[in-house]
Amino acid sequence: MSASKIITVVLKGYPRLSETFIAQELLALQKRGFKLHFISLRHPTDTKTHPIHDEITAPVTYLPEYLHDEPGRVFKSWIAARKLPGYKRAFQVWQKDLKRDQSRNRVRRFGQAMTLAAELPVGTAEIYAHFLHTPASVARYAAMMHEIPWSCSAHAKDIYTSPDWEISEKLVDVNWLKTCTAFNVAHLKNLAAEPEKVSLLYHGLDLERFPPFVGRAHLRNGQDATNPVKILSVGRAVIKKGYDDLLNALAALPSDLEWQFEHIGGGPLLPDLKAQAEKLGISGRIIWHGAQSQKFVLNALQEADIFTLASRIAEDGDRDGLPNVLMEAQSQRAAILSTRVSAIPELIDDERTGLLVEQRDPAALAAKMERLIRSPELRQSLSEAGDQKLRLEFGADSWIEKLAAQFEKDLA
The model's pTM: 0.80
pLDDT tens-digit series, residues 272-290: 999 999 999 999 999 999 9
C-alpha span between 361 and 371 (Å, rounded) = 16
User: What is the spatial distance between Cα 84 and Cα 299, in angstroms, rounded to a whole number?
Assistant: 51
Using a pLDDT cut of 90, give the percent of the chain over it: 88
> CATH number of 229-393: 3.30.465.10, 1.10.287.70, 3.40.50.720, 3.40.50.2000?
3.40.50.2000
C-alpha 358: how far from its chain's center?
21
Q: Which tens digit of pLDDT belongs to each residue from 352-389?
A: 999 999 999 999 999 999 999 999 999 999 999 999 99
- Does the pLDDT at position 1 exceed 60? no
45-54, 58-67, 108-117, 144-153: range with lowest mean pLDDT = 45-54
Q: Which pLDDT does position 3 carry in this prediction?
A: 61
* Assigned superfamily of 6-204+395-411: Glycogen Phosphorylase B; (3.40.50.2000)
* Stretch 120-148: mean pLDDT: 98
Percent of the chain with pLDDT over 70: 99
Query: What digits encode the pLDDT tens for the residues 93-114?
Result: 999 999 999 999 999 999 999 9
Query: pLDDT tens for residues 220-261?
Result: 999 999 999 999 999 999 999 999 999 999 999 999 999 999
**Strands of 177-179's sheet in order across:** 60-62, 35-42, 6-13, 124-130, 150-154, 177-179, 198-200
Which pLDDT value is given to residue 10?
A: 98
- Report the pLDDT value the prediction gives residue 300, as an integer from 0 to 100: 97
* 8 Å CB contact between 220 and 372: no
Region label for 111, one of left (φ > 0), alpha (ψ between -120 and 50) or beta (otherwise): alpha
pLDDT at 2: 58
Q: What is the pLDDT of residue 110?
A: 98
pLDDT at 9: 98
Backbone angles phi, psi at 307, to 5 degrees: -110, 130
- Domains 6-204+395-411 and 229-393 fall in the same CATH topology: yes
Distance CA 249, CA 257 (A): 13
Which pLDDT score is estimated for 17?
83
Handedness of CA 16, 19, 24, 30 (dihedral sign): negative
- Domain positions in the chain: 6-204+395-411, 229-393
Q: Greatest CA span in the chain, whole angstroms?
A: 73
Pair 120, 59: CB distance under 8 Å? no
Between 15-24, 25-34, 125-134, 305-314, the lowest mean confidence (pLDDT) is in: 15-24
For the stretch 144-154, pLDDT in tens is 999 999 999 99
